Chain A
Amino acid sequence: MDVSLTNSIRFACTLKSPKFFAVTFKTCRFAPTFSIGIMAKHWWKILSVIIILYTIIIGLSVKIPIIANNEQTSRNLFYHVPMWIAMYTQFTISVVASVMYLASNDLKKDIWASSAGSIGVFFGLLGFATGSLWATYTWGGTLTDDPKQISTALAILIYLAYLVLRLSFNDLDKRARVSAIFNIFAFALLIPLTYIIPRMVDSLHPGSTSSPGFSKNDTDGTMMRVFYPAMIGWALFSVWLYSLRVRYKKIALKKIIHA
C-alpha cells in the first residue's frame, strides 16, 4: 500500500511539471526521499527524537518533588538513567549477536556485535559523565570512592578492553571469533558489577539503602511521566545510532572483501 501511495504522489508531481528533472531515488542514489511511505517506515526514529525533545524541555520545566537534600538536581534522573538504559540495550544486542556469530560464523553478526559494543560504550561514557557531573555538586567530588561509581567505571573499562582487543587482529574471522568470546565474558561480568555488587554494599547513590530514591517521594507521578518516556526515547535513539553504524561497517566490510 505504501509503495502504491508514493508512486501515485510521484506520478502526480511529474504530471504538474513535466520539464522539471525530478530528483527521486530512481534518478539519484542520494536523493532525499521525504515521501509519506518511507517516513512511515522510520516512524520510531521520529518518535525517539520527539520523545527526547519532550523530556528535555519538560524535564527542565516541570515542578518536581524535593527529595532529601538533592533539591533541583533530581532532574538529572531524566538525563542520567536513560543513558544506562541505552547502554544496557546496546550491550544486550551485542552479546546476543556474539552468541549468534559463534553459532553461525556469519561476519554480519560480528558487525552487529561490534557496532552495538561501541555505541554501548559511548552511552556508558555519557552516563558516567552525567553521573560524575551530578556528583561534583552533590557529593562534593567528581570521582569519589562510591562503590557504584567504581564498579561502573570498571564495567566501561572492560568494554574498552573489548574494543582494544578488536584492534589487535589482522584476520577478520579470528578477530570475530575471539572478540565474540571475550564479549560473552564481559557481559557475564557486567551483570554482577553493575547490578549485584552495588546492591550488596552501601552507597550514597539515590535509591540505595541510606539515601532515598525518587519512587517513594514522587506521589504525583510528575517525575515518572518524564522519566519513563525518556528511557524509551533514548533506547530507541541508541538503536538508531546502532543501525547507522551497522550500515557503515557493512559497506566497509564489502570494500575489504572485494579489494
Chain B
Amino acid sequence: MLEWRQKHAFFGILLYIFTTVFVINLMMMKPEDKIWNALFWIIQLFVCVNAVAKSFMQENRGRLLYYYSVVHPRHFILAKLIYNLILMLLMSVISLICCMMFLGNPITNPLYFIGVVMLGGVSLSLVFTMLAAIAAQASQNAALMAIMGFPLIMPVLMLLSSISRSAFEPVLQPGLPGMFMLLGGLDVLVIALALILFPYLWKD
C-alpha cells in the first residue's frame, strides 16, 4: 500500500505519544506498578484510535472508488489490516520506550512484557481497523468510533492488563495460558469476520 504518503499523520502520532507521556510525567513523576500498567494501556488505546481510525477517514471518495475498481475488497481489507498491524507494532514499541524513559521502569520481566505489548498492539489494531471500516460508512464517524469501539475493546484491554501483571511482580495467575488462547482466538475471529464481511460493506 502507498500509505507512506501520509507522513504528516505518522509524525503527528509520534508527537502525540511523546506529549501524552510527557504530560503524565509532569503530573506524577514515577507512578506505581499498577498505575503504570493502566496508564500504559490507556495510552495504547488512544494511540490506536488516532493511528488506525484515520486509515479510512483520510481517503477521499475518488480514491476509494479507484481502489474499488482495481482490487478485490478482500485483498483491500487484508492490506489495510497488515498495514495497520505493522504501524501499531511500531507505535507500541515507541510508546513503550517513551514510557520507560519518562515514567521509570518498574518491569521485572521485560521480554515477557514486550511480547504482551506486541500481542496487544495486534489485537487493538485489528479490531479498530474493522471498526474504522464500519464507521467510515456512517455520517458522523468520529463520535461513532468511540461509541462502537470502546465497549468492543474493553474486554481485550481487561485481558491485556491482567496478563501483563505478571511482568511487574512474580504473581501466580492460574488462567494465564487460557487468557493467551482467548486473545489469539479473538484476533483470528476478527480477521475471519473482516474477510467475510468486508465485501458486503463495500458494495456501493
Contacts and interface: CB of A to CB of B under 8 A. Distances in A.
B140 A168 contact: yes
A181 interface: yes
Interface residues on A, range: 20 to 34
Interface in A159-183: 160-161, 164-165, 168-170, 174, 177-178, 180-182
B179 interface: yes
A200 B134 contact: no
Contacts of B140: 168
A27 B196 CA distance: 52
B60 to A, nearest CB: 18
Q: Which of B130, B154, B204 has the largest count of A CB atoms less than 10 A from its CB? A: B154
Nearest to A150: B158
Given A200-B175, A200-B179, A201-B175, A185 B203 contact: no
A158 B139 contact: no
A88 B158 CA distance: 24
A64 B189 CA distance: 43
Given A181-B201, A196-B182, A158 B152 contact: yes
Contact of A182 (B148, B154, B175, B182): B148
Given A178-B138, A200-B178, A200-B182, A164 B197 contact: no
14 contacts: A154-B151, A154-B155, A161-B148, A164-B144, A165-B144, A165-B147, A174-B204, A177-B200, A178-B137, A178-B138, A178-B201, A185-B130, A192-B182, A200-B179
B193 interface: yes
Nearest to B192: A188
B186 interface: yes
A184 B201 CA distance: 13
Interface of B: 130, 134, 137-140, 144, 147-148, 151-152, 154-155, 158, 175, 178-179, 182, 185-186, 189, 193, 197, 200-201, 203-204
Nearest to A103: B200
Task: Give the secondary structure class of B's interface.
Answer: helix
Interface of A: 102, 150-151, 154, 157-158, 160-161, 164-165, 168-170, 174, 177-178, 180-182, 184-186, 188-189, 192-193, 196-197, 200-201
A186 to B, nearest CB: 8
B18 to A, nearest CB: 31
Contacts of A181: 134, 197, 200-201
A247 to B, nearest CB: 28
Contacts of A102: 197, 200
A168 B138 contact: yes
Given A197-B182, A200-B178, 5 more contacts: A150-B158, A160-B151, A164-B148, A184-B197, A192-B186
Contacts of B134: 165, 178, 181-182, 185
Nearest to A169: B138
Q: Lowest 6 CB-CB distances: which A-B pairs, in order?
A: A157-B151, A158-B151, A178-B137, A161-B148, A181-B197, A168-B138
B148 A165 contact: yes
Question: Which of A185, A186, A192, A196 is the most central at the interface, judged by chain B CB atoms within 10 Å of its CB?
Answer: A185
Interface centre among A160, A161, A193 (most CB of B within 10 A): A161
Contact of B193 (A157, A161, A184, A196): A184
A187 to B, nearest CB: 10
A151 B95 CA distance: 28
A151 B155 contact: yes
Contact of A185 (B139, B152, B185): B152
B181 to A, nearest CB: 10
A165 to B, nearest CB: 6
Nearest to A157: B151
A174 B141 CA distance: 14
Contacts of B186: 192
A196 B197 CA distance: 24
B147 A177 contact: no
A109 B31 CA distance: 52
A174 B134 CA distance: 11
B139 A169 contact: yes
A169 B201 CA distance: 14
Contacts of B158: 150
Contacts of B175: 200-201
